[in-house]
Chain A
Amino acid sequence: MPVVCLHGPLRKLAGDRSEHELSGATVEELLSELERAHPGLGGWIVDERGAIRRHINVFVNGELGGAQTPVAAGDRVEVLPAITGGAA
């Protein structure tokens, strides 16, 4: 199964665990599965429209991806705050 890696407050909301093995064929499916397993994450990564929040980046095996990026067993999916979200 792919592994979703969380950091900072997202990690805390997911049982204080960084790595989560989840089933799914796309990033979107993985994130849905993640929210089902950890309801406290609801609204933190994906908004009400079902879109990944603007200033969150998802990398699949080190490549910037999106909701529809396919994932396979053994893939590593990093969910990270984007530098675009910072403010002075």
Chain B
Amino acid sequence: MTELLVSTKKGLFVLEGEPGTGFEIAARAFAGQPVDYALRDGRTGRLLAAITSPFYGPKVFLGEEAAGEWEQAQGVALPEGGEQALNRIWVIAAGEAEGVLYAGGDPGVLFESHDGGASWEINAGLWDQPTRKDWQPGGGGLCLHSIAPWPGEPDRLSVAISAAGVWHTEDGGRSWSRGNQGLTPRYLPAEVIEELGLPEPDPGADTPLCVHHLERARARPERMYIQFHGGVYRSDDAGRSWVEIGRGLPSDFGFPLTVDPADADSAYVVPLVADMDRVTPEGRVRVFETRDAGETWMARGDGLPSEHAYLTVLRQALTRAGQGARMEIYLGTTTGEVFGSGDAGATWFEVASRLPPVYALSAR
């Protein structure tokens, strides 16, 4: 049975079921509150949920079961007495070392926990970056939304920040380096891009690099994929440089992206029309799949709405469970639908509808 955690504008929904037999809502937690991300840590079985109360601010909670008691995690806050406050937690990810978890948030902040999520501390190496003063927020804020551990190497980690680009550490977060060569911010005037000499050099820290989502291929960790604010990119050198691979898509604008853990050449995106029209192109919901690392893309829409469907899928609202030909893929929309596939995107079915706007999904 698959457990699908659906984080929505009005609470966390736990759906249980299997492709082919349907899903049921098993529990709802944090009723009425915006749940930005939820995850069940497969190592401990513990649930973690990031909530941003409009009244009481962002918090992370832990629980065993969604319908049970939740306990607030400690330390999810910026240093006291500064000029900034934490706005939101965008993502929680399991690290490679035992008990280690990461959480990314706005303003461009990474937290780490070494006790399974009970207590957290800010990653000082990234927080104290000298270039931070030049970082610019994207439309969703200065959000650290993607965290990509390196399988088997706990000290190696990559993160992406909108719009401060991609950052890597190889020493457990003590020092960080940028990895943005090849990314071209087409939303800047052409003369600015020309003046910067892009895409050849790594754009400077004052160049807004609106990465929408970053994923690492677990089968080949030096390979990474990016859905950019206009452009889909691949890196084969551990995220130092990037090549554009969005040709063949109906649009290379979008938010989420996922990769088959068993096949570094297989990735999935959900294109939207453009930044000025963030809905599925041509009124059709389609996931696009590449099996050759971005050389070609195939539309996967069998079972998805194909007429007058102008839906939006946010950056955390595409997830997977398993791998290979039987990989399950799930996508959620801001209109409260969740769709699923049990055959790596070949066919799709409706998992749920009439939910609140879906912010994030995670499955196991």
> Chain A residues in contact with chain B, CB under 8 A?
9-10, 40, 43-45, 47-51, 53, 55-56, 81-82, 85-87
Contacts and interface: CB of A to CB of B under 8 A. Distances in A.
B82 interface: yes
B56 A9 contact: yes
B352 interface: no
Contacts of A49: 81-85
Given A43-B77, A48-B78, A87-B9, A56 B55 contact: yes
Contacts of B84: 48-49
A10 B59 CA distance: 14
B36 to A, nearest CB: 14
Q: Is the interface of B mostly helix, strand, loop or mixed?
A: loop
Given A48-B86, A51-B85, A85 B79 contact: no
Contacts of B81: 48-50
Interface in B23-37: 34
A81 B85 contact: no
Interface string B282-304: 00000000000000000000000
A55 B86 CA distance: 15
A85 B54 contact: yes
Contacts of A40: 72
A87 to B, nearest CB: 6
Given A55-B54, A87-B9, 12 more contacts: A40-B72, A43-B56, A43-B57, A43-B77, A44-B57, A47-B86, A48-B78, A48-B79, A48-B82, A49-B81, A82-B55, A86-B54
* 8 A-B pairs with the lowest CB-CB distances in the bound complex, closest first: A47-B85, A85-B54, A81-B55, A48-B78, A44-B56, A85-B55, A48-B85, A55-B55
B191 interface: no
Q: Is the interface of A mostly helix, strand, loop or mixed?
A: loop
Contacts of B69: none
20 contacts: A10-B56, A43-B56, A43-B59, A44-B57, A47-B86, A48-B77, A48-B81, A48-B84, A48-B85, A48-B86, A49-B83, A50-B81, A51-B85, A53-B55, A53-B56, A55-B55, A81-B55, A85-B54, A86-B54, A87-B9
Interface string B155-169: 000000000000000
Nearest to B80: A48
B54 A87 contact: yes
Contact of B57 (A53, A82, A87): A53
Contacts of B86: 47-48
A81 B9 CA distance: 18
A29 to B, nearest CB: 16
Nearest to A87: B54
A82 B85 CA distance: 19
Contacts of B77: 43, 48
Contacts of B57: 43-44, 47, 53
B61 to A, nearest CB: 12
B225 to A, nearest CB: 33
A16 B84 CA distance: 30
Nearest to B10: A87
A87 B212 CA distance: 25
A86 B34 CA distance: 11
A46 B86 CA distance: 12
Contacts of B56: 9-10, 43-45, 53, 56
